[in-house]
Amino acid sequence: MKRIKIDRSKCIGCLTCVSACMVAHDSAESRNRVVISSDMKFSPIFCRNCDLPECVYTCMSGAMRKDLETGYVTYDKNKCASCYMCIMACPYGVLKEDKETKQEIMKCDMCADLPDGPQCVAKCPMAAITLEEVESR
């Protein structure tokens, strides 16, 4: 399974990853963001596709689920009850509602529909965001 890896020492806070996400999903909002940490470094924030995902465990409608084949947490907006339990349960504060309809959870899908994968990785000018192969548990 591949996960997004962030090298904070390379990030310059240009927000190219955020823009790339918005363009890839033809959306006014991104599924990632960049914050400034307490040590004043830029910190891109992405879904970590946790091994034991709290968002999946708290989802009552089955909209969030762990794909055992890929290891990714997937989101089905057609099943979503917009209860926001997943947002409250995410220990990393990654998930958020769409600001326009408040009916959809903005969740990274690893750009699964695109042949060259996550656009935040492909477009990062500093190579601060990469894909890393990790062992699934």
Looking at residue 1, what is its pLDDT? 84
Give residue-wise pLDDT tens across range 68-99. 999 999 999 999 999 999 999 999 999 999 99
Q: What average pLDDT score do residues 129-136 get?
A: 87
Looking at residue 130, what is its pLDDT? 96
Whether residue 31 contacts residue 106, with contact meaning beta carbons closer than 8 Å, is answered with yes
Where does the pLDDT of residue 49 fall: very low under 50, low under 70, confident under 90, or very high at 90 and above?
A: very high
All residues at 6 or more sequence positions from 115 whose CB lies less than 8 Å from its CB, including other chains? none
Looking at residue 134, what is its pLDDT? 85
Instruction: Output the CA angle 65-108-105, nearest 5 degrees.
Output: 70
Q: How far apart are CA 36 and CA 33, in angstroms?
A: 10
| Cα–Cα distances in angstroms (integers) from residue 79 to residues 25, 45, 98, 108, 113, in the given order | 19, 25, 16, 17, 20
Looking at residue 136, what is its pLDDT? 65
Looking at residue 137, what is its pLDDT? 59
Instruction: Output the average pLDDT for the chain.
Output: 94
- Closest to 97 (Cα-Cα) out of 22, 49, 45, 29: 29
- Closest to 47 (Cα-Cα) out of 2, 1, 109, 103: 109
